[in-house]
Structure 1
Amino acid sequence: MPVYNKLVRDLIPQVIEKSGGKFSTRTLEPAEHLTEIKNKLYEEVKEFQETNNRQDALEELADILELIHAALPIHEATYEELEEIRIAKKEKRGGFEEGIYLIEVEDE
């Protein structure tokens, strides 16, 4: 039996069960849940980096967004609050749409 030891989506046990598989799971405590969200986020970002087409990129971005949604309650925050912070930062420093790549800054 393969050993995964990683965070999975909530319905994965039912998917495994329906296919006749046997499995074991446990529910993570909040601190370890956040650690595993961070680990999974890293994994999904790596997978996003490896995408070569629109559909795969959107699938990985959806996974990243789902992990962000999962992390918010652990920080006692809402998506609306996160969006407000995102907008405030964008208004102050801009977004990333223009693709500006900083090469160097000359010392004075």
Structure 2
Amino acid sequence: MGKLVRDKIPDIIRQDGREPAVTVLGEAEYRAALVAKLFEEATEVSEASPMEVAEEIADVYEVLRALAAANRYEWAAIEKTAKAKREERGGFQDRLYLA
């Protein structure tokens, strides 16, 4: 079973003396792989230590940026939408949990 990897990973594998089996995905497969990668990275955030969490959040951020681009959204548009939702519905700073 394969998985989506960052662009430079095949080169890193080659530098280690191995030859990776790489496939370039079509648009639909790429979007599906990004969603799967988002779940993978979110799981890693949930399992990260306090020292590791920033790096794992950065991975989630990178996947979200790629997912936006794959769906033809500029990141600035995503930020604008997030700001509008935050203004209308609030953020998560108050730690509210509905039971």
Q: Same fold (TM over 0.5)?
A: yes
Match of 1:31 among 3, 28, 31: 28
1:82 counterpart = 2:78: yes
Structure 1 segments, 4+ long, off by >3 Å, are none
Q: Which amino acid aligns with 2:82?
A: R
SS in 2 for 1:46: helix
TM superposition score normalised by structure 1: 0.88
Q: Using the alignment, how far apart are the partners of 1:75 and 1:13 within structure 2?
A: 25
Give the number of equivalent residue pairs. Answer: 99
1:87 offset after TM fit, Å?
Answer: 0.3
Show structure 2 runs of 5+ residues with no match: none
1:22 offset after TM fit, Å?
Answer: 1.6
1:91 offset after TM fit, Å?
Answer: 0.3
Match of 2:5 among 8, 26, 32: 8
Q: Using the alignment, how far apart are the partners of 1:102 and 1:24 within structure 2?
A: 47
Kindly report the root-mean-square deviation, in angstroms, between the aligned alpha carbons of the 2 structures. 0.9
1:101 offset after TM fit, Å?
Answer: 1.1
Q: Using the alignment, how far apart are the partners of 1:23 and 1:101 within structure 2?
A: 45
**Conservation of the 8 A alpha-carbon contact between 2:69 and 2:75:** no
TM superposition score normalised by structure 2: 0.95
1:65 counterpart = 2:56: no
Show structure 1 runs of 5+ residues with no match: 104-108
SS in 1 for 2:52: helix
Q: Which amino acid aligns with 1:45?
A: A
Q: Give CA-to-partner distance per residue, 1:6-58, whole Å, 9 cap, x none.
A: 000000000001111121101000100000000010011011001121x3111
The structure with the larger Rg is: 1
Identity across the alignment (%): 34
1:102 counterpart = 2:95: no
